[in-house]
Structure formats: C-alpha cells, structure tokens
Amino acid sequence: MTTEFTVRDAFFDFCRRAGMTTVYGNPGSTELRMFRDFPDDFSYVLALQETVAVAAAAGHALGTGNAALVSLHSAGGVGHSLGAVFNAHRDRVPVVIIAGQQSRAMLPTRPFLGADEPALFPRPYVKWSRQTERGEDVPAALAEAYRVAMTPPCGPVFLSVPEDDWDRPAEPVPHRAVRTGFAPEPAALREVADALNGAANPVIVVGPGVEDEGALPLVVELAEKAGAPVWISPLSGRSGFPEDHRLFQGFLPPVRDQLAARLEGHDVVLVLGAPVFTYHVHSEGPFIPDGAKLFHFDCDPAQTAWAPVGTSVLTTIDAGVSGLLDLVDKADRPAPEPRAALARPGAADPMDPAFVIEALRDHLPADAVIVEECPSHRDLFHARLPITRSGGFLTTGSGALGWGLPVAVGRAVAGAGERVVCVIGDGSIMYSVQALWTAAQQNVPMTVLVLNNRGYGAVKALGRRIEMDTVPGTDIPGIDFVTLAKGLGVPGRTVSAAADLDAALAEGMAHDGPFILDVSVVPDDSPAYEPWAR
C-alpha cells in the first residue's frame, strides 16, 4: 500500500478543517476506495435509502449551520436521492454530495453502474456540479464545492469521483476563507427607508432567509421600530419571527388572490428572505393590493430577477436589515389587533387533529425542535403551536414528501440532546420510513407523532377545489405504523382514544431514544376544508 499523500488523504484533511466529519450515506462498490483506512475522527451514519441520506445530512446542516457531507452510490443512488436534493435546493440547505463513479479507464465502455453525464444528472437542483478531468484535482474541486454550498444563497453541490481517483497522489488544499456577507447599495437602502418612514400602514413579510442568515433579532427590532405587523411567507421552511409577538399576524396563503386580500390596507410591503411569492394553485387578481409598493430583500440574484412585482434589493438579510435600522425612524403606530384566540376542541374519538396539536403543545419540552411534514394539517398546526425561538422549527418549503422524518433524524444527530419532535402525516412517513432504522441505530432523542387520517388529505382537498368528489389513489388504510417501526428498532404506541393521548405523549417525550406515536385523527373530508385555510 502506498504511503504517499493521496486524493483520499487530501479529501478527508479538507473535510476535517471544514468541520464535515460526519458522513451520511448508503455505500456501494464505487465508494469502497473512498473509505479505505476510514479516519477514526470521522463517523459514518448509514441510511437505508439515498433519499434518507441526503435529507438526514440536510437536517444535520440545519442543526449546525455548516454544510454536511453525504456519499451516494453511483448513478442509481443519485437517482434515488433527487427528491431530497430538490428540497435541499429549494430550501437553501448546504449539502456536499459525493457520488461514486466507475474507474476512468472503464468509462468509454458505458460500464455497469456508470453515470454517462454525471455532472448533468442532478441539475438544475444543485448550485455546482462537476466530475474533474484529473483525479488529482478532486481535493481542490471539493474545496470549491464547499465554498459554493456555503455562499448565500446556500444549497447543495455535487461532485462525482471515479473510484480509482482516491488512490492517486495529491497535494493538500491550502486553507483560505470566503467572507460571504454583502450589503445593498446605500441609495437602495435610502429608498426603502424613505418608503417605510412615509408609509401610513407598512407590513413586513418574512421568509426562511431571516432564520437561515441569523437575522431574526434584527428583524424583530425593525418591525418594532417601524410599527409594522409581520406575516410569514407562504409555505416557508422556517419560522422567521416569534409567533407569540404582538406584531405577528400569521401565515400568508399560497393563493394569489387570498394573499393579496391578507395584505389589503397596507401601502408598503417589505419582503425579507422569501420568494415573491410561492403559490400552490392558480388564481387571478393582483399580486399585492392595488396601489401598494413592494420592496424585496434577498441574497439570491435568481429570486430577485423573477419576482413579478416591486423593487428587489440584492443583499444578505443581516446586512440589509442592519442598514435599514440606521435609517428608519421610530414610528408611533398602534399595534394591530391581537389574533383571535382559538377555542380548544373537546375530546372525541376519532380525535380532531387540533385536539392532538393542543395536547402536544402541553407536553413539549422547552428546548424541543419541531420538524413538521403534515400537509393536511399544516395551517392548524401553526395556528395552535406557535414557534417562539430561532431554530425551533423545520419543515420543507418545496413540497416533495419524504423530507421531514430523515431531516428530524439528522437534526437529532447534530443536536446536544434536545428532543426533536417530528409531526408527520401517515402518507408522508411512508416516503422515507427507513429513516426510523437510522434513528434507532443512532439512538437519537426523537419522538415521531403520526397524524393518521388514513389518506392523502391535502390531495383530496385540492381535488374538491376543482369540484372532484372523489380522487383515486388517496386512501391508504391498513398500515400498522407501530409494528412497522418496531421492525426497524423503534418502539411506540397506537393511540385511538382521546383518553389515552396525554399518557402516550408523556411516554413518548420521556423515552430514551426514538419513539413513535400512531394517533388516529378524523379524516379531512369536509367540503369546506382547504389545507391553507385559516
């Protein structure tokens, strides 16, 4: 065996210096040389399917604020993972994806497992993608990929490595830093500040970029200084504003006319770190109320380019809001009317999902991190379980199911012992149920609460919107989630009676390691139900 410094040595040396010492993956033949003499200070977290590997790595990244490393197996493994890659891209999560490839000498013969055009395969849902021309260039490409992943807007990157590259001689990658924050031009800040100062009734819309860039305290200060109520953007993957604050108004719907109606009466709209806007179904009408001016702060040139209305300012949120705070006058506007308190549903069997969420709120540890993937109940979940601290909530803003459970596992692996609570639909969990096995092997502090309505409730609701009385393929009866989880190493309880819920939640939160609760809830079959309705 050679003793010279190799591509493998340089690769792990860079990962060590970048803080990427946990590898999520599912191994195969084209990755074996990568893991020869695997370093003792690295850990490998095995996922049983590549979607789980990428999403768990994303959860790890969201927990640490640093890019996470994931290893995929050749073309097939990359193909399996693409739903999670799509989510990571849309949700701006920095994941460094390394994919195995057959040896360079074999590539002209289109070998078994080989990727014909590996750099094109995951596009356009990665920020950067490459297979180097020479093996010795792999470490420098890795360093470039990491820097791209961590530059706002963050996101996944992809590097394909032929298996014989790992043993080639290489040089260490020199250390260098990239300072990624950037501020808007002063004239742009002045324009926005003047608009806020002259507004009769301004409003702020926050998106996931606020939390991703650590700007939540500054945004709270700006809202209070301007006296502006705050909404969270449609289908946001984070919270972005304390939901118990007196200025918080709720969540904008992903429907154009409904969204504009929520903003009616506001003459200046300031959007921070969010698309303008994300819609789920088509509707006519203005994007914002007639006569209102919209200003948009975001770090992504693509977002600022396609926004259909208003004036976009290219900036990281921290820098942009800091600049505004120096220019915005202290306003003396009355606070908005408090949001109406919601009555707590009574106990009934099967249970109202709102009853379950209220009970969950009673049992949550103070430092719990909530991961949500229950499309049928997302809005009632937010209405009844306010997120009050930065980092306390994760979901997907892109909509590809199978993200929540493995994200919760990765977030728990990256944590410091705080309880991670994954609230998930019975349809959603089956897209990546293998993540339970990884949770059991890692013995993570995680409680999985399945809101089991025995079907795809959100799809049924969308069908009713277009006057479909029945939607084929939306009923999913007959799954025993507790037995399934037990087979993967996770204990749990089935809860079909409201009288048993409190005891089950107490057990689930106190359990040493992962625990699943399969809770039967009323199906959302009401003709008036819409998953974004408030």
User: Residue 28 catalytic?
Assistant: yes
Nearest C-alpha neighbor of 358 from the set 340, 372, 344, 376:
344
Out of 31, 211, 213, 373, pick the active-site residue.
31
d(C-alpha 240, C-alpha 300), whole Å = 18
CA distances from 410 to 61, 157, 375, 435, 508 (A): 8, 18, 21, 9, 19
User: Residue 377 catalytic?
Assistant: no
Out of 60, 73, 80, 377, pick the active-site residue.
73
Q: Is 386 exposed, middle or buried (0-12, 13-18, 19+ CB in 10 A)?
A: middle
Cα radius of gyration (the chain): 24
d(C-alpha 387, C-alpha 515), whole Å = 23
d(C-alpha 199, C-alpha 303), whole Å = 25
DSSP 351: B
For residue 169, the cross-strand partners are 6
User: Residue 496 catalytic?
Assistant: no
**Which tokens go with 27?**
């191994």
User: Residue 133 catalytic?
Assistant: no
Q: Is 282 exposed, middle or buried (0-12, 13-18, 19+ CB in 10 A)?
A: exposed
d(C-alpha 255, C-alpha 257), whole Å = 6
Please state the length of the chain: 534
Query: What is the DSSP track for 7-76?
Result: HHHHHHHHHHHHT--EEEE---GGGGGGGTT--TT-EEEE-SSHHHHHHHHHHHHHHHSS-EEEEE-HHH
d(C-alpha 379, C-alpha 530), whole Å = 9
Residue listed under structure tokens 């990884």: 438
Out of 28, 65, 214, 250, pick the active-site residue.
28
**Which tokens go with 252?**
């904008």
d(C-alpha 158, C-alpha 100), whole Å = 11
User: Residue 73 catalytic?
Assistant: yes
User: Residue 175 catalytic?
Assistant: no
Out of 19, 214, 250, 399, pick the active-site residue.
399
Task: Give the DSSP H or E segment for 465.
Answer: helix 457-465
User: Residue 358 catalytic?
Assistant: no
Out of 50, 211, 243, 530, pick the active-site residue.
50
Out of 65, 144, 280, 513, pick the active-site residue.
280
Question: Known catalytic residues?
Answer: 28-29, 31, 50, 73, 280, 399
